[in-house]
Amino acid sequence: MAGALAQTVSFAEPVDGATVSSPFKVKFAVSGMDVKPAGDMSDNTGHHHLLINASAIKAGESVPFDETHLHFGKGQTEAEVKLPPGSYTLTMQFANGAHQSYGPGLSKSIKVTVK
């Protein structure tokens, strides 16, 4: 695939190591893929998930539906997150329309402190 963009995800906000007040805004960025709502199984598309104190999910595995795996299946690229005070690892995981992970290559983790 000559000329194809590298497929990556990143946090536009907050920055790694940030101290934030709850609720805080999380902005997702993705390159080389298109954000589409859950259910859309087009090639090179998917939607964001935010994992609270959880690691990247192996490629092909489904992202769980629970309080530590937040789904943005409407195709949202930002969210307001409420967490109690403490230190957290936030992991963004991009997954396809069936919530199947694209793996660690399309995940990114940052650490934040909620004051």
Q: CA distances (Å), 90 to each of 6, 36, 41, 45, in order?
A: 22, 22, 26, 22
Q: DSSP 3-state helix, strand, coil percentages of the chain (rounded to 5)?
A: 5, 50, 50
**CB–CB of 55/91 below 8 Å?**
yes
Q: Which residues of the chain have pLDDT under 70?
A: 1-5
pLDDT of residue 1: 42
**CB–CB of 107/34 below 8 Å?**
no
**CB–CB of 95/103 below 8 Å?**
no
